[in-house]
Structure 1
Amino acid sequence: MSMLKIKKGDTVKVIAGKDKDKEGKVIAIDQKDGKVVVEGVNMLTKHTKPSASNQNGGIIHQEGPIDISNVMYVHKGKATRVGIKMDGDKKVRYAKSTGEVID
């Protein structure tokens, strides 16, 4: 996959699936599989045995990965598509709805 348009730390909105219309911050990105982990989205229940790090074990709730095509970047409170353009000799991301440079 080439340069991804979503980065770690971005605020995104889910546009498809069971968590549609939820917003959250990107925690992790799997560039190879095209998946992102978003804070508070796609919550999974994991049953763990007691171990040295987790004395009691039990049920843990954690975020699961969702496809990167199911999220949109949020710019100034609105979901927008992200484009890439050259700014001098440097590639920058910009919001397609407003044309403003993101970073």
Structure 2
Amino acid sequence: MERKFNKQPKLNIRKGDTVQVIAGDDKGKSGKVLEIQAVKNRAVVEGIAIVTKHTKPSAGKPEGGIKKTEGTINISNLMLVDPASGKPTRVGRKKDAEGNLQRFAKKTGEIIK
């Protein structure tokens, strides 16, 4: 019987991958994935979805001010960039000779490390 709760989604994007934004305000930009939030189906990408946070000065941090950081973006709006060609590609999974699942680029067929 299949588990109904606490099921981890299978994602094609991992931390450290280079991705391109295919929808939203930052469409066309690319960057490196810094963090994956699998439960929320979101990712933090370097230089994408910049949000402004205002911090009030306090005793612990006397230097308040405005700080710009990366926000999260939905994984469905990201597409993996193929390391071989440098273009965005879809991702497939196949087993190697030892029986381990490996990701591969659908455009070129190259295995993604």
What TM bracket, shorter-length normalisation? over 0.9
Unaligned runs of 5+ in 1: none
1:72 aligns with 2:79: yes
Structure 1 residue runs of 4+, over 3 Å off? none
Task: Give the residue type in structure 2 aligned to 1:30.
Answer: Q
Q: Once the 2 structures are TM-superposed, how far is the Cα of residue 92 of structure 1 from its aligned partner?
A: 0.3
Question: 1:87 aligns to what?
Answer: 96
The letter for the 1-side match of 2:42 is K
**Percent identity among equivalent residues?**
54
CA distance in 2, matches of 1:27, 1:55: 28
Counterpart residue identity of residue 83, structure 1: G
| Structure possessing the higher radius of gyration over alpha carbons | 2
Name the structure with the higher strand share. 1
Contact 2:52 2:67 in 1 (8 A): yes
The one-character-per-residue Cα deviations of 1:12-35 (angstroms, maximum 9, x if unpaired) are: 000000000000000111000100
User: What's 2:3 paired with?
Assistant: none
Q: Contact (CA 8 Å) 2:9, 2:39: kept in 1 or not?
A: no
Alignment of 1:1-103 (within 5 A): 1-51=8-58, 52=60, 54-75=61-82, 76-88=85-97, 89-103=99-113
- How many residues were matched structurally? 102
Identify unmatched segments of 5+ residues in structure 2. 1-7
Q: Residue 45 of structure 2 aligns to which amino acid in structure 1?
A: V
